[in-house]
Amino acid sequence: MTDFPLDLFNAWYAEARQSEVNDSNAMALSTVDTVGQPSCRMVLLKGHDERGFTFYTNLESRKAGDILATPKAALLFHWKSLRRQIRIEGGLSRVSDAEGDAYFATRSRASQLGAWASDQSRPLPDRATFEQRFADMERRFEGRDVPRPPHWSGYRVVPNRIEFWQDRAHRLHERRLFTRNEDGWREGLLYP
């Protein structure tokens, strides 16, 4: 048995925050739809703790539809400058409204307005349509705070499997695998 591998994640993540020039919190998120078609995209990690790894999105987006159909996901952090990656797999849960509101309040005003203006993942006839919708939201919320839209919130990936991969010479990489069962976390190694 071992403790949740959060300490190791925190150490690697802190190093990545120092070494990665752009978006050290970027992670690939993979989901699966109702017919088993996988989809992968980059999202940003916006929080993590012993409960899991949190990102935010439009709840009417393709990814949210996938999550509703199949509430499981995989994450991948790849920090090329460190020659490391972390793979995370697990179930998904929605963050609370209070958590969603608190994070939304930290976003730039333009990002808040964009959340109202965008029908994420839906067809867009032209860029001018989106820009007009954004301008409409600027007018709608002029002189007041922008509340979190009801169709926008976050999800937490609740991990049951976390793999830490470290590049080594001659492709003799190190792979540490943490798996969770009813008794807690177990640690093991994988062949490279």
Half-sphere exposure of 6 (CA within 13 A, CB side): 12
Cβ burial, residue 14 (10 Å; 0-12/13-18/19+):
exposed
Other CB atoms within a 10 A radius of the CB of residue 44 amount to 13
Catalytic residue among 127, 139, 144, 171: 171
Note if 171 is an active site residue. Answer: yes
Amino acid at 7: D
Task: Please identify every residue annotated as catalytic.
Answer: 171
